[in-house]
Chain A
Amino acid sequence: MPENPIITFENVKKQYEEDVVLKNINLKLERGKFYTLLGPSGCGKTTILNLIAGFTEVTEGTVTINGEKVNDVPPNKRTVNTVFQDYALFPHMNVFENIAFGLRIKKMDTKTIEEKVASVLKMMRLSGYENRAISEMSGGQRQRVAIARALVNEPDVLLLDEPLSALDLKLRTDMQYELRELQQRLGITFVFVTHDQEEALAMSDEIFVMKDGKIVQSGTPVDIYDEPINRYVADFIGESNIVEATMIQDYEISFVGRTFECVDAGIAANERVEVVIRPEDLVLTTPEKGKLTVKVDTQLFRGVHYEIIGYDSEGNEWMVHSTKKATVGEMVGLFFNPEDIHVMRIGETEKEFDARLESYEEE
């Protein structure tokens, strides 16, 4: 656990009349990291952002920024700034005045304001655009103005509310690099809200996967991708093949009528579990060499790879990402390694999951 967290949530609950939006959220965010709140719309991720920014108040619990309780501190007194989903750039001001807004409120002198705005414009590669009207800027440029307007105030935390969702794919990918690079250079804590798992995986130091007002799993992108705690996380983060399985004993599991070697332990024998195998971990081979055999049903060319859907003898669907072509209607073998099998216990919480992993990884 971090020693000096910049933001903490303690047993935070948020309720709008009858509607419980957040159920008992506990968070500790460290300085200088890139955090992502990931989940479908309505999971409460934006509510967490609004609670940090101060736009809504908690129903129960405590929010702290820099160790101070901020439950009753209004947004204009908090040392955090937000990049809004629609950017919310003031249409009656030009680029310079938009960025200078926060500094003018702080009554800085004109020279300091000009210097600060110039430096943040340079950082966002917007020098020369000072006198442009917002309506004359493209989507990507507006995005950068919005980031500049927030960063010029030198916040402790920068909140980003799905800022890339309005951009086209190419621009979005560019901005992912840019944001990540910016965060590492400035060392400011970023809290990024998105429903796009690729964005989350590409940029974050730590991801919080949310569902129905709860944090389902938190961890590094690799942890979450490789060890999803349950079907929901596995499904949400990337494509996955999920089948029901039975634990035989430690490091041995059975599914689709066969027994396989795996890397999971600490689960009771004969317990019903679920198994995730990522499509890119499955290798096409001959039926003799494969650990599983499936009949190829459809094949799509995705550019980077072929996406092949096949069905095994029990009718389970298997998705394979392969650079090699298969033939529709033929039987093929699927090969995978023991570490590609990710076992998920039904109803296991994150705490229990972490404890179990620790228990046998220390041995």
Chain B
Amino acid sequence: MKQTKTFYFVPYSIWLLLFVVAPLMLILYQSFFDIQGNFTFANYATYFQSGTYLTMTFNSIFYAFLITLFTLLISYPTAYLLVRTKHKQLWLLLIILPTWINLLLKAYAFIGIFSMNGTVNDFLSFTGIGRQQILFTDMSFLLVASYIEIPFMILPIYNALEEMNPSYLKASNDLGANSWETFRRVIFPLSLNGVKSGVQAVFIPSLSLFMLTRLIGGNRVITLGTAIEQHFLVTENWGMGSTIGVILIIAMFLMMLVTGEKKKKGAVHKK
């Protein structure tokens, strides 16, 4: 019995080993070699001494934070309404549907919409406001990135709200709370796990976005993702690229540690 159980784990373990553990090890290994192939700690020294890299790191975190914030602000009310709508499944499908489309295609579609001769500018010139530079601005980058990440934020929040026992709301109402107090004291705290999962699902990928920074943001913001791409494909300094990769991975683990689900326990009553 026990042997068959372990047997079922074999394919997944192989997968894990080949495509998760091995690449991570390789990245770590690579990060200790310079461009000539000599063992060195210089990559890490460079990273922490260079203002450029630190600015990039700050930018990556700052923009990932903004993207997460925007998606959260849009997704929470959406999920909240969605739970209370009639044709939930249909609406949910419409929200999930865009995730089936390739990221690159969506980026190009936005170029079409935002460019000087795009739909938005056609409308602006028609109304007399005149054509504006929309593409290659920070705003457009944040907007498109948020647009792409929204479904990943809505789904976990939706699930958390959907699973909530409706009698909690009745009980809160019965004990004298109005709708706002019920939301603040019961609904929101109970959906917090969904929010945390959503934040993880959005913040971590946002840290290493690189395609959108170029196509939509016009490389005005250079994030760590862009830096890695450039090191591997342009300067061919794989060691430096790997070093940034290791730092990103550490940042992701930190993020998961912060937002991760702790053992559920009632808050301790403070005297």
Q: Which residues of A contact B (CB under 8 A)?
A: 53, 55, 74-76, 80-82, 84-86, 88-97, 101-102, 104-106, 114, 130-135, 149-150, 153
Contact = CB atoms under 8 A, between A and B. Distances in A.
A135 B265 CA distance: 8
A88 B167 contact: yes
B194 to A, nearest CB: 13
B170 A84 contact: yes
Contacts of A134: 266
Contacts of A132: 266
A133 B175 contact: no
B62 interface: no
Given A75-B174, A84-B171, 10 more contacts: A76-B175, A76-B177, A76-B178, A81-B174, A91-B264, A97-B266, A97-B269, A101-B172, A102-B176, A105-B185
A131 B269 contact: yes
B181 interface: yes
Nearest to A159: B174
26 contacts: A76-B173, A76-B177, A76-B178, A80-B174, A81-B175, A82-B170, A82-B171, A84-B167, A88-B165, A88-B167, A88-B168, A90-B168, A90-B172, A90-B190, A91-B190, A92-B189, A92-B190, A93-B266, A95-B266, A101-B185, A102-B176, A131-B266, A132-B266, A133-B265, A135-B264, A150-B174
Residue among B175, B176, B177, B189 having the largest count of chain A Cβ atoms under 10 Å: B175
Nearest to A53: B174
Interface of B: 165, 167-168, 170-178, 181, 185-186, 189-190, 192, 264-269, 271
A86 to B, nearest CB: 6
A76 B268 contact: no
B165 A93 contact: no
Contacts of B173: 55, 74-76
Contact of A153 (B168, B172, B175, B186): B175
B167 A93 contact: no
A138 B202 CA distance: 39
Nearest to B166: A88
Contact of B269 (A85, A105, A130): A130
Return the 7 tightest CB-CB contacts between A and B, nearest first: A94-B266, A133-B266, A88-B171, A102-B175, A88-B167, A96-B269, A105-B176
A114 B181 CA distance: 21
A153 to B, nearest CB: 7
A90 to B, nearest CB: 6
| B192, B267, B269: residue with the most chain A Cβ atoms closer than 10 Å | B269
Contacts of A94: 266-269
Contacts of A75: 170, 173-174
Most A C-beta atoms less than 10 A away, residue of B176, B178, B181, B268: B176
Contact of B186 (A53, A76, A90, A114): A90
Contacts of A85: 167
A125 B28 CA distance: 59
Contacts of B271: 114
A24 B163 CA distance: 36
Contact of A133 (B172, B185, B264): B264
